[in-house]
Structure 1
Amino acid sequence: MKYHIYPLVLVLQLCLLTTFSIQAATQVEINNLKSRNLLLPNRLADGFLGPDETICEGDTVRISAPLAFSYVWSTGQTSQFIDVHPAATTDYWVRVINLQGQTESDTLKVIVNPLPEVLISPAYTELLPGEAVLLTATGALTYVWSNNETGNQLFVTPVLPENPYSVTGTSSLGCTSIATAQVDVRYTTLPAFEYTKTCLGDTTYFQSKIITNDTIQLIEWDLDSDLMFDDGFGTNQKFFFEQPGEWLVGIKVTTKYSTEAHIEYFPVMVGDIPVLSYTYASSCVSTPIRFTGKAVFSVGQIESWAWDFGNGQLSSDPEPVVTFTTTATQLITLKVTTSAGCEAEYSGNFAASPRPALTVSYADGSLIAQLPLTMYRNDTIRLRANGVYDSIKWNQTIESVTLNVVRPGTYTAVSYRDGCVSQPVSIGVVMNDFPYDPNLKIQNILTPNGDGYNDVWEISMLNAISPARVFIYTRSGMSVISDEDSNNYKNNWNGQFNGNPLPEGSYFYIIEGAGGEVFKGAITLIR
């Protein structure tokens, strides 16, 4: 082995000149920084900067040169050593003037190894209390978790709402990287309560009904709607409300793992007692009668109706339909219950009204002695409904006090009064083949004064010759009946034309029957 003597001479000279010992090159520099001690033979083999360095991405390494008069590094620095942290493999050189005044240079390569790409799967998990998740780390050779467990998997069952986990992964090159994962525990708390239905004057009782997967630590109440939870603590409470209406009651729940209290307000109904009555549309005996219940109150809705009509009939309908078979007085009782739990009762007497009396005679008031009635061809029988009533109907269609019968058949009259219907009265009519002169049955006088007699011009046998055309003229020959009434006359001309009353006087008519019959004559209009 060949030894170089000049380094030792230089060191001795340095000691004499500076009174420094050979300890200028320290053991720390030798071991950790690999200082370039000129006394060591292996430093000569690698150059005075020593062997190449290997680091991990992001690390820093110190490169030291031996003691000399001056230094110039590739980085531009002029100190004995430099600290570098290259992002990629890089060559660093230095030029020195040694203690003998000679210029020397050396180059050192810093090799940068990449960091491992460490990942944790799943990166985020949300659990319910008591559930667990398996975290798996990838991208490195070995792993150390934040709880000091090793291996690439970690099975966790967290309790706190937020739980961060980390793992440090080391690659085969000795480089390390850290990955994190978040595991949250979802605690849910739904405050609620039940309360007794309350009428004004009663005490309201409350019971908490809380749905939670957390641990309840405190229950507080706001019963007087002042936004202060100082009216009670615990599961059950009671309170007396001094006014009816809708009150907001709050419940506040504090749990172990939630950072904030859970607050909910719910409406509480305090009812008032309804004032009851009922009405009915009609009061006819043996006729369906609709009753309507009335309830005056301010809070809630009617939940139930209970009727007792005094004759064994009951109903839970707010508008029941009832039939009374007698006119005897009945005690009707109505009871209701509101959604707020308030009850009320009302009773009143009721008596069904009798049916209106109805008879049928001839139009002149003469009585009908025998049925069925007999009529002749081209004849008309005039009937009249008698009694006290509001209206009359013949055969369910014709609304008139009188009825002109021109054909055989059955004619039924019904009268109405105050919503009551009379017993029907039927008149049978049969035909006799003996002819009858129709001219004797054409009205020749018109007095439209509203007294019910001769208010319209009627052709008694009109049904026998319909559809008939009717023409009415003044003395000067002007038509005074509309085309609509003329072409299909309905026994409805009342001495007016185009809505204007015609003057008194004589008018002339022509009637053309459907079978070709023609009748002519005069009409006297009297007002």
Structure 2
Amino acid sequence: MRYSLLLSLGLFTSSLFAQQVVNSTGKVLVSPTMSVEYSVGEISIATLFSGQLVATQGFIQPNVATCIISASIAGQDSVCAGTPTLLTATGGIDYQWFNNSTSPELLVFPNPGTDIYQVTVTDASGCSATVTKTIFGKAVPNIDIQSVAALCVGDTAHLKTTGNATNFNWNTGANINNIIVVPSQTSTYTVVGFITNDCPNTASVTVEVRTPPQAISAATNEIIACADTISLHGNTPPASGSGQWISLGSANISQSSQANTLAKDLVFGDNRFVWSVSNAPCPGPATDTLTVFYSNEMPVLYPDDTLVLKGQAVQLRLLLNDSISQLPGYDLRLKTSDLNGDWSLATNGTLSFEPSLGFTGAAQAIYEICNALCPNFCDEAIVQILLLEPKDDIGETVAITPDGDGKNETLIFDYLDQYPDNSIVIFNRWGQKVFDAKPYLNDWAGTYNNKPLPAGTYYYLLNLRGEDEFVWGNVLIVR
């Protein structure tokens, strides 16, 4: 209780008690416990806030004032450390918290142990008071999970807790600190750890489950290339994995880590490539081998021509003078033919021609051969068949005696070296061809299919330079 000594110039009245409080000295001692109004006669009114008041010139003035205000902070006395809790200050109209917040309410996150929170409260009369609130933060355990980040489907994962928790509850139902799981797909595991039941902590870990890699390089394992650059296509690796193209030869791969890329500088024949896919930690890699057959060979064809007698059918083996052995295979067709007879071409390259009745002159056709694997690699050649009518009154008779004595063994023309493109056809008396050659090398010894022909007269048609340079004659075989 605080008392104040008052000096009065006249009658001193307390409005609180509605009575005079005057002593013989003109001084009054009061001890207010709340805001009280005092008056001195009819002169003035002053408000005393529990302090010493002195009358000056008929007025009561405060000398020293001490406020009386009821301020407090409401809230929990203890919470789990780090858990938010609300503090509410009362008793005024203005509030100033320790962190400069001016709201009556403040959300705090107590630390482990004791925390003290302070607020200054001011009421409507301007009177202020500072109050505090003590909160005890109960310990929350530290907890974490150690585990592999990823595993292959079917593998086990060891989940180990770390920290100071003493009790555990897993979302798998287990209640021990370490567990073993075999997830079939990517899964999240959660454990609640606590020291006391009212302050738990939670930790989670996600274990990614990966599948073994697969490698698929193409729809088939062998393809054909007609150019020295080809597109390679592999399956897309898993998002967690990777792929790699590997050349088993001299070909170059432009972007080897891309599933779809280009291979360049192929060589003729087989070019082998491997598509390799990995997806750790699954075993691998998985591989698939692709064989690319590069066929860049062109056929090379040469013209064919022959001489026959009027009315004779013809069969020519067109491929004998062509270069096609380098091809992996070929397609043969008769591309064009004239109307001077019936033409047909067998798959083995034998051309058959049946001339129209009475036709003489040149019959022509064109045949084509293409690389069977690369159908744009083609060549063509012309076939010309001359059908002539024998002229008995033209030419000479030459005798040969193929008996092995070294004299007159073969049919010889001394001037053939002047006509390197010559050709010859020899017929029997029935018009059947028994020999032909292009060029003729002066080497016919009266044989057919390497067997001696009967003695008798045969006739020849020697083509020196095109269809206008013919030499007719007879050859007599003497045995």
TM-score between both structures, scaled by the size of structure 1: 0.33
The structure in which a higher percent of residues are helix is 1
TM-score between both structures, scaled by the size of structure 2: 0.36
The structure in which a higher percent of residues are strand is 2
